[in-house]
């Protein structure tokens, strides 16, 4: 199949697996995933699986990108914080759905290449930072939504504290081998936590996550 046919087949599979938000599906249709994968994997860009990226990282499975974005439910006027820029694919999807995306990557090489890629592709509402994503980016808080694309041992409190009231945090929490995808909503009396599904992500490294030597 040609690229466009592969993209449509990917969307059809995502729908079959239960993602129904038309805004999310449309955003996924509009982002060319082949631009975010290594040349060696370009012919697999629309396979529904994670693919290797540079510096030991991965580009997430398309279904997981769609499912996490649907849980986050970003609105057109929202400010979203993304933890783990990676290749920039998730960020590109978010930028089509929210007013503003602040994204943090701890690896400078990944952050630089993602910023160059997204800027070249015309995504203009994204603010890039290099740093410890487990601490968030308090200068731009509060956030209507926070999405974490790496697995944490527990919910990082700095991120929860940077949510607006009623804001949503989507994060994988667990050990090295398996995590549970959580939706955490900040409420007046404390966090409202929903367990969504099992998942597997690279470790979230930082002061409020895993340590490098853990």
Angle at which helices 22-30 and 62-72 cross, to 10°: 140
Distance (Å, rounded) from C-alpha 58 to C-alpha 115? 17
* Maximum alpha-carbon separation in the chain: 52
Q: Is the distance from CB of 91 to CB of 101 less than 8 angstroms?
A: yes
Catalytic residue numbers read: 60
Distance (Å, rounded) from C-alpha 126 to C-alpha 99? 9
Within the chain, residue ranges assigned H as helices are: 3-16, 22-30, 62-72, 89-95, 108-120, 157-161
């Amino acid at each position: 199949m040609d690229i466009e046919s592969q993209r449509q087949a990917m969307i059809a599979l995502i729908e079959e697996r239960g993602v129904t938000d038309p805004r999310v599906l449309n955003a996924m249709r509009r982002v060319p995933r082949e631009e975010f994968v290594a040349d060696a994997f370009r012919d697999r860009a629309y396979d529904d699986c994670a693919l290797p990226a540079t510096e030991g990282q991965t580009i997430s499975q398309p279904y997981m990108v769609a499912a996490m974005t649907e849980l986050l439910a970003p609105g057109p006027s929202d400010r979203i914080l993304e933890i783990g820029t990676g290749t920039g694919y998730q960020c590109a999807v978010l930028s089509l759905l929210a007013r503003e995306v602040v994204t943090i990557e701890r690896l400078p090489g990944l952050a630089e290449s993602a910023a160059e890629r997204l800027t070249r592709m015309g995504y203009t509402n994204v603010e890039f930072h290099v740093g410890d994503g487990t601490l968030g980016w308090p200068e731009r808080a509060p956030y209507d939504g926070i999405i974490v694309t790496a697995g944490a041992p527990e919910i990082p409190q700095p991120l929860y504290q940077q949510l607006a009231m009623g804001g949503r945090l989507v994060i994988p929490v667990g050990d090295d081998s398996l995590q549970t995808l959580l939706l955490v909503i900040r409420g007046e009396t404390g966090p409202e936590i929903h367990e969504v599904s099992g998942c597997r992500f690279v470790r979230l490294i930082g002061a409020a996550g895993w340590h490098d030597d853990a």
